[in-house]
Amino acid sequence: MKKVLVRGPLLSQSGYGEHSRQVYQFCDSQKDWEVTTQVLGWGITGWCVNDEMEGGLYGRIMSKSSPITEKFDITFQIQLPNEWDPNLGLFNVGVTAGVETDRCPIDWATTHREKMDLVIVPSAHTRSGFTAAGTGRENTPIKIIPESYFEEILKEPESDLLKDLPTSNNFLLVGTLISDRPEDDRKNIVATIRWFMESFHESDDVGLVIKTSRGRDTAIDREVVRRMLKNIKSSLLVKFPPKIYMLHGSMTREEMTSLYKSPKTLALISATRGEGFGLPMIEAAVAGLPVVATDWSAHTEFLSGTSFLDVSYDLIQIPGSRADGKIFAKGSKWAEAREGNFKKKLVRCLRNKESLKKSAKQLASELQESHSLKNIFTRYEKVMKKALEK
């Protein structure tokens, strides 16, 4: 039996948390691997400690957690590269979505990459961030293994979460509000909301459902988000903005499935400045929703066809206030969606909703196969077999 450590934010309600749990499930599926977990935090995001969640997955993760007293045969460390520790195992795998800009910090691409035996990233975009910042002489291989969607999304929901909404054509926005300053927010949530409201003012049957938070599932967090939405609405120069619906706090997979598959949900939208993968986008696409999003970074690797309404952009330097030198490198760039084109794509999505729905079903069928958990596990098995043979 190989002793294997999975180290990461395994209980966190975040994208990295979901990625960590997928890596854990792969490791736990290997018959000759004895898995130990080391649960870490992820920023200010909350933890889920309900051991019955996701069919007992959280309980299995917690039951495998124990003090580290020995060196492992293999470690999977789902963290930022500067947090990887090569002393934990004989063969160490760093798993990261890197940074969402065009390149990562130099030490990530050189020193921290080289201290690991293998690096796994979820997208070609993330890998290019490493190669752009490196010297070209690095030896540690970087392999691309995408993330999967949650499999409950393939089932038909038992109820419609949005059935009581007065609007029939609702766009969906899912993402954590990362910064108080709109220009620093990688998800570009404020602009997404503002441009939507300006596009559909005086539209009685169009709404926006926003699933967001500042990272916490608390009453204070909820009030901060509610205040932000009110401020955006009050700053608009339109008399009759469309309806906005806020969802805050943790949601079960069944609830998220209902949200994506509601007959009243028209499309997922995002003026994102960059994604290391883009979990809400693949979830929406697998559920059969069209996606309106910036045509740059990782999500463009799995979104395709006419149901992906790609928004033109300009590649610009990140604000100086964002360049901390630790995660965001000075002089690195991300995408700024063009306002006019984003609004144009929103209107097109509404006008062509029936034809886009057919295209979205075709893409959903393809992604359900290519990004299933089973296929992702197969890719891990192939990469690890080859790496361990050397």
Both 194 and 49 in one domain: the answer is no
Both 213 and 260 in one domain: the answer is yes
Both 79 and 206 in one domain: the answer is no
Both 272 and 345 in one domain: the answer is yes
Residue 98: its pLDDT value, please? 93
Both 43 and 187 in one domain: the answer is no
Q: SS3 sequence, 342-382?
A: HHHHHHHHHHCHHHHHHHHHHHHHHHHHHCCHHHHHHHHHH
Binned average pLDDT, 10 residues per bin, the chain of 390 residues: 97 92 97 96 81 87 92 97 97 96 96 98 98 96 98 94 96 85 89 94 93 81 86 79 89 94 97 97 98 98 98 96 89 97 98 96 98 98 92
Cα–Cα distance measured from residue 27 to residue 5, given in angstroms and rounded to the nearest whole number:
9
Residue 52: its pLDDT value, please? 78
Both 162 and 273 in one domain: the answer is yes
Number of domains in the chain: 2
Residue 48: its pLDDT value, please? 80
User: Do residues 92 and 116 touch, judged by C-beta distance below 8 A?
Assistant: yes
Q: Given the structure tokens 């393939």, which residue do they identify?
A: 154
User: Do residues 155 and 257 touch, judged by C-beta distance below 8 A?
Assistant: yes
Of 318, 295, 286, 302, the residue nearest 122 (C-alpha) = 302
Both 8 and 63 in one domain: the answer is yes
Exposure string (b/e) for 316-328, b if CB count within 10 Å is 16 or more?
Answer: eebeeebbeeebb
- Find the helix packing angle between 353-370 and 279-286, rounded to 10°: 110
Instruction: Record the pTM.
Output: 0.94
Residue 166: its pLDDT value, please? 96
Residue 342: its pLDDT value, please? 98
Residue 170: its pLDDT value, please? 98
At 98, which CATH number?
A: 3.40.50.2000
Both 21 and 107 in one domain: the answer is yes
Both 376 and 359 in one domain: the answer is no
The tokens for 131 are 């190669």
Both 271 and 340 in one domain: the answer is yes
Both 143 and 254 in one domain: the answer is no
Domain ranges, residue 20: 2-148+372-389
Cα–Cα distance measured from residue 273 to residue 306, given in angstroms and rounded to the nearest whole number:
21
User: Do residues 20 and 78 touch, judged by C-beta distance below 8 A?
Assistant: yes
Exposure string (b/e) for 154-173, b if CB count within 10 Å is 16 or more?
Answer: eeebeeebbeebebebbbbb
Residue 235: its pLDDT value, please? 80
Both 324 and 190 in one domain: the answer is yes
Residue 215: its pLDDT value, please? 72
Cα–Cα distance measured from residue 245 to residue 226, given in angstroms and rounded to the nearest whole number:
10
Torsion angle of the four alpha carbons 282, 288, 294, 295, in this order, in degrees rounded to the nearest 10:
80
